């Protein structure tokens, strides 16, 4: 992988890399991408797309109505509230 791409990705991720680390990662990523390149030769013409490698059934439950907290109960242990709402730190 080109060193400029490694540098751009590290900058986007806010990871400081030395020139030596960029060089090493560039070589390592080249090796990884080379290994994956064999997938380009796989014939997938008659293969249906799959979202999971293993068939799974969804485990669901029926919705059940249950009691909920009142607004006062929900706010009772909050350190900081304002006008009936939780108040968080300013951004």
What letters, b where the CB count within 10 A reaches 16 and e where it falls short, cover 2-41? eeeebeeeeeeeeeebeeeebeebbeeeeeeeeeeeeeee
- Cα Rg, the chain, nearest whole Å: 26
* For residue 50, pLDDT beyond 80: no
Name the residue with higher pLDDT: 1 or 87.
87
Domain span including residue 32: 3-37
What is the phi/psi pair of residue 34, to 5°? -65, -40
**What's the number of domains the chain is made of?**
1
In a domain, 11, yes or no: yes
In a domain, 69, yes or no: no
Check the CA dihedral 75-79-80-83 and report its sign.
positive
In a domain, 60, yes or no: no
Instruction: Please indicate, yes or no, whether the overall pTM of this predicted structure exceeds 0.85.
Output: no
Check the CA dihedral 79-80-83-89 and report its sign.
negative
């Amino acid at each position: 992988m080109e060193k400029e791409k490694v540098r751009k990705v590290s900058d986007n991720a806010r990871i400081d890399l030395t020139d030596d680390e960029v060089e090493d990662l560039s070589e390592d990523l080249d090796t990884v991408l080379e290994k994956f390149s064999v997938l380009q030769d796989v014939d997938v013409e008659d293969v249906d797309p799959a979202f999971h490698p293993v068939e799974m059934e969804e485990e669901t439950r029926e919705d059940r109505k249950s009691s909920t907290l009142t607004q006062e109960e929900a706010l009772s242990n909050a350190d900081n509230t304002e006008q009936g709402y939780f108040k968080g730190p300013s951004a």
